[in-house]
Amino acid sequence: MPSPQPDSQPLVVTGIGVASGLGHGKDAFRAGLFEGRGVFAPLARPGRQRDDGSPEFFGVEMPDPPAILPRRVERTAGLSGRAAVAVLDEAWREAGLDRIVPERIGLVVGGSNLMAREQFLSLRDYAERLDFLPPRHGHVFLDTDICGLCASQFPIRGFAHTIGAASASGAAAIVAAVEAVRSGRVDACIALGALQDVSALDLQGFRALGALGAGPVCRPMDTGHGGFLYGEACAALVVTRPEHAGSTVYGRVLGTGFCTDGSRGPEPNSDGQVRAAQDALAAAGLTTADIDYVNGHATGTPSGDDAELETLRRLGLGHARVNATKSIIGHGLSAAGTIEAAAVLIQMREGLLHPTLHLEAPLDEAFRWVRGAAQEHRVRHALKLSFGFGGSNVALVFGTPEEETA
User: Looking at the DSSP assignment, which residues form a beta bridge with residue 384?
Assistant: 295, 396
Amino acid (1-letter code) at residue 383: L
Contact 236/332 with Cβ under 8 angstroms? no
Residue 3 has pLDDT above 80, yes or no: no
Domain parsing of the chain, residue ranges: 11-401
Q: What is the pTM of this model?
A: 0.97
Q: Which residues of 94-132 are buried (b: 16+ CB within 10 A; e: fewer)?
A: bbbbeebeeebbbbbbbbebbbbbbbbebeeeeeeeeee
Q: What angle do CA 151, 154, 157 make, to 5 degrees?
A: 55
Over pLDDT 90: what percentage of the chain? Answer: 94
> Average pLDDT of 301-316?
98
- With beta carbons less than 8 A apart as the criterion, state whether 93 and 153 touch: no
pLDDT digits (tens, 9 = 90+) for 193-228: 999 999 999 999 999 999 999 999 999 999 999 999
State the burial class of residue 183 (Cβ atoms within 10 Å of its Cβ: 0-12, 13-18, 19+).
exposed
User: How confident is the model over 42-96, as pLDDT tens digits?
Assistant: 999 999 999 999 999 999 999 999 999 999 999 999 999 999 999 999 999 999 9
Q: What single DSSP character describes residue 276?
A: H
CATH fold of 11-401 reads Peroxisomal Thiolase; Chain A, domain 1 (3.40.47)
- pLDDT > 50? residue 406: no
B/e letters for 134-164, b = 16+ CB within 10 Å, e = fewer, are: eeeeeebbebebbbebbbebbebebbbebbb
Average pLDDT of span 119-137: 93
Cis peptide before 2 (omega within 30 of 0): no
Q: pLDDT tens across 138-190, in order?
A: 888 899 999 999 999 999 999 999 999 999 999 999 999 999 999 999 999 99
Closest of 216, 226, 192 to residue 85, by C-alpha: 192
Alpha carbon 193 to its chain centroid, in Å, reads 6
Phi, psi at residue 85, to the nearest 5°? -65, -40
pLDDT at 270 over 90: yes
Supply the pLDDT for residue 405.
53
Whole-number pLDDT of residue 2? 47
